[in-house]
């Protein structure tokens, strides 16, 4: 009986080790898009996946649509793609046309991803590099995340967004402060499992038409990612901001 159980136990332990390795390489890109935006913008996404190790690696990508319960997609294992040592792959069309959301990236050790979300205008484009995050790089429960500076004028607008990496719906609470630290607004936003929510022209949604350094304090009942994007209306260029934790 012991001899039959030992191989079975070894197989189970090996399967657990493989699963743990895969999860150790799990990261999320909190916002991606291939969609029309305000003021003639058309947002698109491209990726570079690089193997910086000396061994053959692999990676898998899963698109997580915005505003949708993506519990099933978080649990599924997407098909893996091999990548040789020192190899870099450039990927386009990783987001379905007319869609926005987030990306789940699972890779072996030494395989990394870089993401550019860009505004394509005619034959030129201006873009922003969006980092990939693991859960330790997000805002944990019981911690405040602060997005600053937030700008609003005839030239600049600020979008903010949230991503929920977990399997339960969360609620993100946002409190808005002006340049003097005075509270000027508050709101809360539900974010479904594995989903992303973006509030376009966030300050204008709070009836703020001019701002040169507002900040928003964010809290939630579970881990979440947050970001702000400041868009220049004249050029279409955008700057990506992650929150300060406090």
> Using one digit for the tens of pLDDT, what is the confidence trace for 103-156?
999 999 999 999 999 988 766 788 899 999 999 999 999 999 999 999 999 999
C-alpha distances in Å from residue 27, one per residue of 60, 73, 133, 173, 185:
11, 14, 5, 24, 32
Residue 18 lies in a domain: no
Residue 45 lies in a domain: yes
Query: In this model, does residue 60 exceed pLDDT 70?
Result: yes
**Average pLDDT over every residue of 155-167:** 97
> Using one digit for the tens of pLDDT, what is the confidence trace for 201-237?
999 999 999 999 999 999 999 999 999 999 998 888 8
How far is residue 112's CA from residue 98's CA, in Å, rounded to a whole number? 27
For residue 41, what are the contacts with CB-CB under 8 A and spacing of at least 6?
119, 121, 231, 236
Residue 99 lies in a domain: yes
Residue 15 lies in a domain: no
Pinpoint the alpha helices (H) of the chain: 2-24, 71-75, 202-205
pTM of the shown model: 0.87
Residue 4 lies in a domain: no
Domain span at 68: 26-245
CATH of the domain at 183: 2.60.290.11
Residue 224 lies in a domain: yes
List b or e across 71-92, with b for residues whose CB sees 16 or more CB atoms inside 10 angstroms. Answer: bebbeeeeeeeebeeeeeeeee
Number of domains in the chain: 1
Query: In this model, does residue 4 exceed pLDDT 60?
Result: no
| Amino acid 10: pLDDT | 38
| Amino acid 22: pLDDT | 36
Residue 1 lies in a domain: no
Residue 148 lies in a domain: yes
What's the sign of the alpha-carbon dihedral 118, 121, 122, 124?
negative
**Average pLDDT over every residue of 30-37:** 92
């Amino acid at each position: 009986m012991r001899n039959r159980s030992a191989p079975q136990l070894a197989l189970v332990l090996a399967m657990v080790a493989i699963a743990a390795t895969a999860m150790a390489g799990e990261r999320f890109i909190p916002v991606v898009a291939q969609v029309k935006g305000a003021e003639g913008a058309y947002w698109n996404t491209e990726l570079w996946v690089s193997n910086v190790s000396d061994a053959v690696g692999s990676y898998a990508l899963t698109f997580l649509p915005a505003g949708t319960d993506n519990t099933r997609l978080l649990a599924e294992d997407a098909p893996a793609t091999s990548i040789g040592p020192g190899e870099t792959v450039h990927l386009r069309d990783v987001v379905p046309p007319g869609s926005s959301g987030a990306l789940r990236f699972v890779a072996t050790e030494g395989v990394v991803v870089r993401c550019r979300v860009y505004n394509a205008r005619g034959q030129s484009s201006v873009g922003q590099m969006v980092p990939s995050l693991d859960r330790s790089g997000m805002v944990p429960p019981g911690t405040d995340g602060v997005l600053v500076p937030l700008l609003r004028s005839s030239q600049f607008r600020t979008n903010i967004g949230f991503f929920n990496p977990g399997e339960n719906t969360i609620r993100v609470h946002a409190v808005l402060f002006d340049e003097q630290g005075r509270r000027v607004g508050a709101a809360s936003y539900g974010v479904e499992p594995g989903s992303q929510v973006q509030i376009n022209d966030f300050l204008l949604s709070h009836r703020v038409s001019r701002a040169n350094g507002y900040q928003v304090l964010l809290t939630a009942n579970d881990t979440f990612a947050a970001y702000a994007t400041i868009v220049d209306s004249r050029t279409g260029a955008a700057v990506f901001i992650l929150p300060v934790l406090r």
